[in-house]
Amino acid sequence: MPYTIAETPDGYSSPGFFATQYDKVIGLARKNSIWPLPFATSCCGIEFMATMGSHYDLGRFGSERLSFSPRQADLLMVMGTIAKKMGPIVHQIYEQMAEPRWVIAVGACAASGGIFDSYSVLQGVDRVIPVDVYVPGCPPRPEQIIDGFMKIQELVGNEPLRRRYSTEYRELLAKYGIK
């Protein structure tokens, strides 16, 4: 039985060639080689370290190489509480990432402020940057973080190539003040 790491998309195949849609092949390549930027602020960061460890191993999904520089990253993983003082910095990091870029908000604090309903905490990181997947939990178990990551992989695999040039996307970015 041959061992498959990833499933082939639908297409016409014959000895010597395989024809399918451009979107699907690029989606397949991108989703199995996401380079995450772990933006770990607090307790969820320690659960992320456990996810990267050998017990739960995020590396088998293709993201073995963490990038701490936003210029070289695809996925911004915001883990932990974002305070108002940190908001502009998250915004700056997001602006420095190149298209296509995705954002996953891990933990209750990044998704909606969590248990800290106070004057100094941003009630959810989606007030400063657009977010694709939210992972609830305080902190979420590594299995939950991996589930969120797999949903990002679905989004990456099915994304049409023209999405980043569309008007809806430009309006979304304009709403956050990102050029």
Q: Under the rule (CB under 8 A), what is the footprint of another protein? A: 39, 41-43, 46-47, 49-50, 53-55, 68, 80-81, 83-86, 89, 92-93, 115-121, 123, 138-139, 141
Query: Measured between alpha carbons, how far is 122 from 116 in angstroms, rounded to an integer?
Result: 9
Query: Measured between alpha carbons, how far is 63 from 126 in angstroms, rounded to an integer?
Result: 24
Q: At 161, which amino acid appears?
A: L
Query: Measured between alpha carbons, how far is 10 from 128 in angstroms, rounded to an integer?
Result: 38
Give whichever of 11 and 88 is closer to another protein, judged by the CB atom. Answer: 88
Give whichever of 84 and 164 is closer to another protein, judged by the CB atom. Answer: 84
Give strand pairing partners of 13: 18
Give whichever of 116 and 176 is closer to another protein, judged by the CB atom. Answer: 116
CB 31 within 8 A of CB 68: no
**Min dist. Cβ of residue 99 to another protein (A):** 20
Residue 124 tokens, joined: 């959810």
**Min dist. Cβ of residue 81 to another protein (A):** 6
Residue 143 tokens, joined: 């299995």
Give whichever of 32 and 42 is closer to another protein, judged by the CB atom. Answer: 42
List Cα–Cα distances, 149 to 34, 132, 162, in angstroms. 10, 11, 23
**Min dist. Cβ of residue 24 to another protein (A):** 34
**Min dist. Cβ of residue 139 to another protein (A):** 5
Give whichever of 86 and 133 is closer to another protein, judged by the CB atom. Answer: 86
**Min dist. Cβ of residue 89 to another protein (A):** 6
